[in-house]
Structures are given as structure tokens and as C-alpha cells.
Amino acid sequence: MRRLQAWCAGLCLAAAATAAAFEPFVVRDIRLEGLRRISAGTVFNYLPVKVGERLDEMRAAQAVRTLFKTGFFSDVRLARDGDVLVVEVVERPAIADIKVSGNRDIDTDQLLDGLRQIGFARGRVFNRAILDRVEQELRRQYFARGKYGVRIRTTVTPLERNRVAVAIDITEGKIARIRQINIVGNKAFSEKELLKRFTLGPPNWLSFYTRRDRYSREKLAGDLEKLRSWYQDRGYLNSEIESTQVTITPDRKEVYITINVREGERYTVGEVKLAGRLPVPAAELEPLISVRPGAVFSRKELAESAKRIVERLGDEGYAFANVNTIPDLDEERRRVSVTFFVDPGKRVYVRRIIFKGNYRTRDEVLRREMRQMEGAPFSAAKVRLSRTRLERLPFFQEVNVETPAVPGTTDQVDVVFTVTERSSGTMMAGLGYSQSQGLIFNASVTEENFLGTGKQVSFSFNNSQVNTIYSISYLNPYYTLDGISRGFRLNYRRTDAEEAGIADYATNVAGGEVSFGLPLAEFNYVRLALSYDRLGIDLGTAASSEIRDFLAANGDSYDLFKISLNWRHDSRNRALFPDRGALQSIGGDIVLPGSSLEYFKLRYIHDRYLPLTRRFTLRGRFEIGYGDGYGGTSGLPFFANFYAGGISSVRGYEANTLGPRDSNGLPLGGAFLTTARLELIFPPPVGEAAHTLRLSGFVDAGNVFRTVGQFDTAKLRYSAGVTLQWLSPLGPLVFSLAAPLNAKPGDDTQPFQFTFGRSF
């Protein structure tokens, strides 16, 4: 057998010279030698030489290169045995196992999945070049996380049957900390002012929480973009970041960053014009443009003005409108004239509104929430509002909307809402503890979407040291086609005031209610309720003289016919953990003439969320309540008094303990209530927990007064502290740590407060 050609692994061998004795011949047969795992069919599939073909020097070299490119072999040789072509191969070993150790920042499954995508996985052919790429990629990922001291050691262990085991041992090291950031070339703005906008920065007393001193390449890129935007939005059109130097100390633990900027000249706005086809009068579009002649030029204002025009045209049915901003620079006068060129396209109409995913909910339940109508001009605002109304329904987990064009037309779209239903029926039993109510046991059966009609049916039971409640209710949110709701409720409630730390008496209330709700606008709602309660008082042996005197004059059981009227404005973006919008409520309860007692209670609540930044929200809440008797009833009955203090009122003081005291020195409550709170809501340390965890710092103020005339700002109580709210798998938890700021002798303070197992 004569050797035709010898090859060794490596790229240099792909072009090796042929043996001097090589002579072309016609291949009558092909024999494969050295195969273990790779099938002969695979080799024949790749081999470019077939039986009956003539093999010369060029085709032999091509055959060897082709087999090497498969990556299956570490050595390929061609030999001749008469007219038989012999292909001798040495297979690369297969990867039998991959073990990764020492990795904390990168999940093992995620890492192995990434290796699989580049062809390095269990069962694949082992290739040292790919392993080198793996090491380089891992270093790159850790460098991007700021861990420049990472060490990666790979061990390849040969196994029987031409296999190998690969061990990747990672020593991550610590994240490099930013010691200093310098900005060079800035004249118009101080370095301190510019660095305020950065996510990264040198360590400070909050670094353990914000982690701002941990270097990250991605975060630095984001900060540089913020720096560019800062200059561009303040008239410096020609500003640019000329270079960025990141220097790491020899021990790879500290980072120094230097940013070189060139500010250029500042530009102001010249003439501002609207051009193109304007389907909406220019007088209506011009107020949407916040760019004004003579003002400092801002790319941000330019983009937002164009966006507002597009949205306004979208509300008129021009779903595919386009607004181009055309700047005209006057370099000599450093002014920029801007033309907003409007291309509205065709007016678009909605052909059909389609719902998908509502397997249990009837179509009409979704359709009645629509503000965009079929056959009407497309309105982006109405589509958004329709989606919001669907998201507020308690039986949908997620709502997505698409507006595909109708095939064959240029002026029609379909609006497709895809909903993900959540289980609307719940059977719950819970055990909890509250400092104000003690041990709580509750059970409920609720169907938010009874038979797919959107109607609500509920039965609930609650038992604590303070309250025992049985309740059954029914609500039809669309009793009429106009959206008027109607509901019914039957309930029994026993309250032990002594257990609540108020006084030695208990109330037993059995009654029922019918209610109607009337929507006045998208965010405004009026609720009217008529109810009857049979209320009885069980007097304790240590009851105060105030309570005994009231019962002596009015008896201990009452028939109360009550009418309630409440107006509510709710523009919050979410019912739970909102971060923008407001809730306002004005309501009154009047016990009607002819009842055993005659009195009224009024209450006003204003709760507003103001986003300060993308991550921080300021919340302000104010509440005022007032009640009094009328007709034959003198003053507000003691059991209807307002109370303050506790985790849901003025934190840092025990629940229900603020305000007037009775003859026994126990809280009596009062007819006038005022409370207020200011909270700064900040993001949790773990971003993924934003929807289940909320942290805030707060200042509370408030008190209860016997009458309005006794209100005195000097008697208000104040507290400050921090609170944590967590929607845990076991139920909602609230923790509060508050310091009373002006507690007086006799006040019951309670710095740490918590509640578990009830809504908040």
C-alpha cells in the first residue's frame, strides 16, 4: 500500500505537500479506517471523492481539507491500496461531562445553555479551540460585571472510549469598586452637577444599598448616554464625548474613570414652523409644541413635541402618521430653526374588535369595557383606555393589544385584544396576627366572574380577638347597559372594644344593604347605598361613665336606617402598589330620621402619588372626618367615634389610642379626625421584587378631637420612620419602625408595629 498524503492536525496542514511518488488514479473503492463513534455514512456524506472518479493531487488536498472542517477529526490521512482509496482518521474525543464550579454571579444552567449554543455541550465533539473561546467569553462576562480579578481554570480529563470530562473552575473575585470619576473639558457645568446624573459613582453612605460604586461596563455606557443627552438638551448640539479611560489598579480592586468632553457652542431656537398636510387645524397642534423661539434648543423637547403631534393625529384616526423634525442650523448666529413636517397618511377606521384568550369570560363582558368602537375612526387614546379598563378587571392577569392592518386595504385596521385569564374563583382560609386585632382567622369563597358574566358573589368569615364577621354579598357591575351597578349585602359583626384597647363594651350588628353605582366619567364614580342595621350594646362591668350615661339616655339597642353617598375619583395606574395618579373620595353616612338614633358622618380622603424619577415616588395622603348628632340625638354616639393611631393611621403610637380619654383613662375617640402622611417610596434592593415588595420612609401627623371646636394644631402628634410592605406567599405583611416625635405624657407609644394576614 502506497502512502499518498500525510496530514497532521492544525490549519498549517490543510495545505501540506503531497508525497513525491503520488500518481493520479481512478478510485474503484473507498475504505475507511479509525472510525469509532462517527458513522461511515457521515464520512461519505462529507467526502468529495466518489467511486469511479479520478483522484489527483488537487482533489486529494480538497478531500483532506473538507474532512478537517467537519471538526470531527484530529488527524486525516489518505492512502492507496491498488485502486482502493484508504481514508485513515483519528477522531476527536467526545465530551462526556461538563462540570462548572465557583460561579455565583452566573447561574449554572444559564452558563451551560450558553455553551450549548456555541457547540460545547455534553455529547458534542471536543475542540480545544472552542474551549479557549469559552474561557474568553466567560472572562468578558465577568469583566462586564466589574469582576476583573476573575480566574478561570479548565481541566480536561481523558476517559475510556475516546471521551473527555471537562471541569471549569471559576474564582470570581470581588467587584472592582469605583474610587473616582473625573470629567475633563467641562466649562458650562460643574463636575459635581454632571455626576449627579450618573448611576455610577464613588462610594458613599448609601452604597451598600444602591451599589453605585460597583463598576459595570453597561452602567458606564448608560451614564455616558445620560451625559450626552444632558448637553444635547441644553443647547450644546456639537458636544461630544471625545474619550473615556477606565484605569484599574494593579490589585484589580479599584477603578478610576476619566471622561473627556468637548462642549462646543450653545444654540438657541430660531423660527418654529409646521409644514406638510395638517388634517387637524394648526391652532390645535401648535400648543403641543413645547419648543419656543428664543429658548435654549433641546432635542428632548423636540422629540416629545413630535410625539405629542403623532398622538393627537392618532386620536383623529391617523394611525400611521409620521412627523419629521427638520432642523436648520445657523452656525454664525448659533440658532436652530425647526420645521415639523407632518405626514398624516390616510385616515384609518376600525373594521373589527377581536378578543382572544377569554375562554371563560363572555365576549360581552369585554366588549362593554371598550371605548374604541367598530366602524369608527381609529383613536390611539381610546384603544389605550380600553386596554386599561380591561386590565382593571379582577379576572384578567394580562392584556395585550395589536392593531394589524386589514389585508388588501390601506385605511382599515383590526383591534385585537389578547387576554390572559386568572382564576376568578377563590376559596381561601388564612391565619394571621395583628398587634391591634390579635390572632386573626379568616375564610372566604369569592367568585369575581360568576359563570363568565363579570358578576361577583362572595361569602366571607373573619374571626379575631376584636372582630367576628359573617358576610355574604352580590354585585352586578353592569346592572344596566349604561354601567350602573347594583349590589346586595347581608352581614353580622361583633366588635369587642375592650380587646381593641378602647373601652369595656361590645357591639353586635346585624343588617343588610342595597347599593347602586353610577359612573360619571372614566375616573369618577358615585355610589349610593341604603342599609338597615340592628345594633346592640353589651356593657362590661368596668364601662366608663360616658358610656353608661349615653345608654341611660338612649337605651342599649337601636334600629338604624342609613343612607350612604360617596363620590370617588381614582386615576391611579394600579390598585396595588401604584406609583402615579390620585385617589380622592368624599362620602357621607346619614342615619335617617325615624331611626332609634339620628347622626351623620362625613369623610374626605386625598391620596396622591407623584413620580419624582423613574425609581422614586412621593406619596401624600390627607384624611379628615367629622360626625355629629341631629334631631333628638345629642352628639355623635360613642360607638361611631373616629379613632387614630396605629399602623394604618399615625404610626409609632398604639392603635386607636390618640385623642380624648374617658373617665377610666381609656381612649374614647372623637367626632373630628385629621391625619396626614408624606412618604418617599424607593425601589427594593432586588429589582425583580418591585411588584411584591415596597419600601418607604415616612412622616405621619394626626389626632382625634372631641369636637371641631377643640381642634388645636399644637395637639397633633407626629412620627417618622420606615415601613416595608411585602406580598408574601402566605399573605400580605406590613412592618413599620417609627419614632414618635412629640409624644406627651400618657401617650401609648409603639415604635415597632406589624400586621400579617389582612389587606393593606
Using the predicted structure, report yes or no on whether residue 12 has a pLDDT greater than 60. Answer: no
529: Cβ contacts below 8 Å, ≥ 6 apart: 513, 514, 515, 516, 563, 564, 565
Grade residue 23 by pLDDT with cuts at 50, 70 and 90. confident
Residues 748/657, Cβ–Cβ less than 8 Å:
yes
Nearest to 181 by CA among 167, 192, 170: 192
pLDDT on residue 3: 47
719 exposure class (CB count in 10 Å sphere: 0-12, 13-18, 19+)? buried
Q: In what order do the strands lie in the sheet with 349-356?
A: 349-356, 412-421, 396-402
Residue with cell 423637547: 301
Residues 591/562, Cβ–Cβ less than 8 Å:
yes
Using the predicted structure, report yes or no on whether residue 415 has a pLDDT greater than 60. Answer: yes
Grade residue 701 by pLDDT with cuts at 50, 70 and 90. very high
- Reading the block at residue 512, the C-alpha cell is 343588610
**For 50-54, 160-164, 686-690, 723-727, which range has the lowest pLDDT when averaged over its residues?**
686-690
Using the predicted structure, report yes or no on whether residue 9 has a pLDDT greater than 70. Answer: no
Query: In 24-71, at which residue ranges do the beta strands (DSSP E only) sit?
Result: 25-26, 29-33, 54-55
Rounded-to-integer distance, Cα 700 and Cα 651, Å: 7
Mean pLDDT of the chain: 83
Q: What is the pLDDT of residues 300-334, one digit of tens each?
A: 999 999 999 998 888 888 888 889 998 888 888 89
pLDDT on residue 251: 81
For the chain, how many helices (H) and strands (E)? 12, 34
CA distances for 86 relative to 60, 326, 443, 489, angstroms = 12, 71, 81, 91
Using the predicted structure, report yes or no on whether residue 666 has a pLDDT greater than 50. Answer: yes
- Reading the block at residue 654, the C-alpha cell is 398604639
Q: What is the pLDDT of residues 357-404, one digit of tens each?
A: 888 888 888 888 888 888 888 888 889 888 888 877 877 777 889 888
Backbone angles phi, psi at 246, to 5 degrees: -115, 115
Ordered domains of the chain (ranges, CATH): 2-91 (3.10.20.310), 94-171 (3.10.20.310), 177-262 (3.10.20.310), 268-343 (3.10.20.310), 349-421 (3.10.20.310), 425-756 (2.40.160.50)
Residue with cell 374571626: 463
pLDDT on residue 621: 96
Strand 438-447 vs strand 412-421: parallel, antiparallel, or unpaired? unpaired
Rounded to 5 degrees, what angle do the CA atoms 698, 700, 705 make?
A: 170
Residue with cell 473639558: 185
749 exposure class (CB count in 10 Å sphere: 0-12, 13-18, 19+)? middle
Of all residues in the chain, the percent with pLDDT exceeding 90 is 26
Identity (one letter) of the amino acid at 120? Answer: F
Grade residue 595 by pLDDT with cuts at 50, 70 and 90. very high
Rounded-to-integer distance, Cα 662 and Cα 672, Å: 16
Q: Model-level pTM?
A: 0.61
Grade residue 444 by pLDDT with cuts at 50, 70 and 90. low
Q: In what order do the strands lie in the sheet with 240-248?
A: 177-184, 254-262, 240-248
What are 3's strand-pairing partners?
A: 79
Q: What's the chain's Rg over C-alpha atoms?
A: 38
DSSP states of 335-394: EEEEEEEEE--S--EEEEEEEES-SSS-HHHHHTT-SS-TTSBP-HHHHHHHHHHHHTST
Grade residue 568 by pLDDT with cuts at 50, 70 and 90. very high
Rounded average pLDDT over 394-422: 85
Rounded-to-integer distance, Cα 639 and Cα 636, Å: 8
Identity (one letter) of the amino acid at 693? Answer: L
Which letter does DSSP use for residue 296 in this model? Answer: B
274 exposure class (CB count in 10 Å sphere: 0-12, 13-18, 19+)? middle
Using the predicted structure, report yes or no on whether residue 226 has a pLDDT greater than 70. Answer: yes
Rounded-to-integer distance, Cα 322 and Cα 185, Å: 38
- Reading the block at residue 261, the C-alpha cell is 468632553
CA distances for 677 relative to 168, 581, 619, 671, 721, angstroms = 55, 16, 8, 20, 11
Rounded average pLDDT over 38-50: 85
pLDDT on residue 759: 40
Neighbours of 242 (CB within 10 A): 11
Using the predicted structure, report yes or no on whether residue 123 has a pLDDT greater than 70. Answer: yes
Rounded-to-integer distance, Cα 17 and Cα 478, Å: 88
